Structure 1
Amino acid sequence: MSSDQSLFAYLEAHSEGASRIGFVACVIFYGLTAAYGVSAGGQWSYARQAVADAANQAALRAGLEVKAVQVEGQHNLKDAEIDAALGPRDGVSIFAFDTDAARERLKRLGFVGEARVMRLLPSTLVVEIEERKPFALWRDGDKMAAIDEGGKVLALASQRQFPNLPVVSGAGAAAPAKELILALAAVPELRGRVREIERIAGRRWDLVLDTGLRVKLPASDFAPALADLSAIAAKNPGALAEIAELDFRVPSQFTLRLKDATATGRQKFLSWLSDHQESRKQL
């Protein structure tokens, strides 16, 4: 029997009157001393692994195996994602578990802004997570993902998961969406009717309303257009259902295209506007 094995046997045989943690501390102290001694002889890598394995086995025999995980700050992360990021824990003692490596793996998850992994003796890992807040859903082709306000992709998602988030679509739409979404928040009566916000040619936006109406916004300074659209929706809400397209790309004016572009359709729309405005005056 080697001297290392003899000493571990001796420590275990005389540990009945000591606490488990005190026993393991002795084992680790001995392991570090032995590792330091062999490092000068150029056998560091082999010796370090041998000592680590021996210390892990001693800790397991002392009942200090990782048995539980306590997670704090989890909202949108799935249990399976956290479990996979922590990595295998069977046969790993609380001291042998690499908390720094686990933290780095957690931080690779899109929803994780910051993470901490700590040991709670005798057998629990405490995981504290600060999640990034989803700001919108971004549709790109047939895929949809949650993004934060800076446009960072957090995870694949669906409208069912986040029914109250606005949907932006198109290549390159994620990063610049914040400005328009905040502008829409200032006109809540309109924001509630926007079904999708579409990036056009990487330079401007179209709004698609719940009636199917497409609203073409200018490339910059779209606040006046939103104000005009909000006024139209407030004064003549039914008119939105008759319009196929509103174009605000030319400053200080707009054009519209009706769903029924025939003469009959135009007359019907003008008549509806006239009747509606007259009825409002009588109220």
Structure 2
Amino acid sequence: MRRLNARSEARRPGRLRLWLRRSRRFAKPAALGAIALVAFAAGAIAWRSGLPGQLAEMVRERIIAATASGGLVVARVTVEGRTHADAAEILAASGLAQGQPMLDVSPEAIRARLEALPWVEQAAVQRRFPGHVHLVIAERTPFAIWQNRGRFALIDRQGRVIVRDAVERFAALPLVVGEGAANEAATLLGVLAMYPEVQRRVTAAVRVNQRRWNLRLASGADVLLPEGHEAAALERLIALHQENQVLDRQLIAVDLRLPDRMVLRPVPGEQPEPRQTAPERRTRG
């Protein structure tokens, strides 16, 4: 047993040898990192020394070529934060390609190109030497679908168009219609969210003359809101609905544009509303 243990111990590498083996895995990255540092320093010296433009560019190209020969080239590109944006579109916009010199990668230029993409709100570009470029994007958040002149577009909360194609998958989002509706959608939908009894019945919000809103209900009725006083009008509508379930009745329109009256327009052929169920109608002249 002692001989077996002695042989095993003899074959076991010493601490120094183990350290050398482990350090080999980090030797190349460390060397490449040193090359990159030297290259950056050389470039900075060339720039600070005030070399003529053509000569400085030649020095820069030589440095890039030398570091690329030493292994500082793009080997991997990763993307973080992508949900809706197309991966191939992001890669194409980045302009990155395998084998491209790492020192020829301009994070600022790539960031600008990425932020020009429809889905990208913000972007950041990280060079992780020796050969990894990591792209971080923050996408715009879909807020509503905007219909204008027969065309549909997906918009964000600020009313900016994200995409105009393939918006069907966002059909669950609110629909706003008309000229100027995109820019004012967030204000109206914020008010509407305070009245879930109305909100769940609304199928579209239509901007009228870029001034006020009509709400199209699932029943087919239109609720005509006054300009700038949407919340007060909805308060009146909810009060009437709690008394008489007016939102569930067959109506063409509920006109709330005047502060002192509410006008109900029934579907032709329907029985007129009992006067006591809509007391505000008695104020009509």
TM-score (ref. length: structure 2): 0.73
Change (3 A) 1:179 1:98: same
- Alignment match of 1:266 (pick from 271, 274, 277): 271
- In the TM superposition, what are the counterparts of 1:82-93 in structure 2 within 5 Å? 82-93=90-101
- In the TM superposition, what are the counterparts of 1:71-82 in structure 2 within 5 Å? 71-82=79-90
1:166-213 alpha-carbon deviations (Å, 9 max, x no partner): 111111111122221111100112111111111110111111111111
Residue 148 of structure 1, CA deviation: 2.5
1:238-257 alpha-carbon deviations (Å, 9 max, x no partner): 76451011111111212122
Matched, 1:107 2:115: yes
- Please name the residue that 1:117 is paired with: 125
- Please name the residue that 1:58 is paired with: 69
Listed as ranges, the gaps of 5+ residues in structure 1 are 1-17, 275-283
Matched, 1:176 2:184: yes
Whole-Å Cα distance in 2 between the matches of residues 71 and 91 of structure 1? 18
Listed as ranges, the gaps of 5+ residues in structure 2 are 1-26, 279-285
Matched, 1:44 2:37: no
Provide the secondary structure at the position in 2 that maps to 1:245. Answer: strand
Whole-Å Cα distance in 1 between the matches of residues 40 and 160 of structure 2? 45
- Is contact 2:121–2:138 with CA below 8 Å preserved after alignment? yes
Whole-Å Cα distance in 2 between the matches of residues 132 and 231 of structure 1? 37
Whole-Å Cα distance in 1 between the matches of residues 200 and 41 of structure 2? 67
Counting aligned pairs with the same residue, the percent is 33
- Is contact 1:140–1:170 with CA below 8 Å preserved after alignment? yes
- Please name the residue that 2:225 is paired with: 217
Deviates more, 1:197-206 or 1:173-182: 173-182
Name the amino acid aligned to 2:28.
S
- Is contact 1:85–1:102 with CA below 8 Å preserved after alignment? yes
TM-score (ref. length: structure 1): 0.74
- Please name the residue that 1:28 is paired with: 39
Residue 38 of structure 1, CA deviation: 10
- Please name the residue that 1:254 is paired with: 262
1:65-95 alpha-carbon deviations (Å, 9 max, x no partner): 3233222222332223322321241431333
- Is contact 2:64–2:103 with CA below 8 Å preserved after alignment? no
Provide the secondary structure at the position in 2 that maps to 1:125. Answer: strand
Deviates more, 1:251-260 or 1:27-36: 27-36
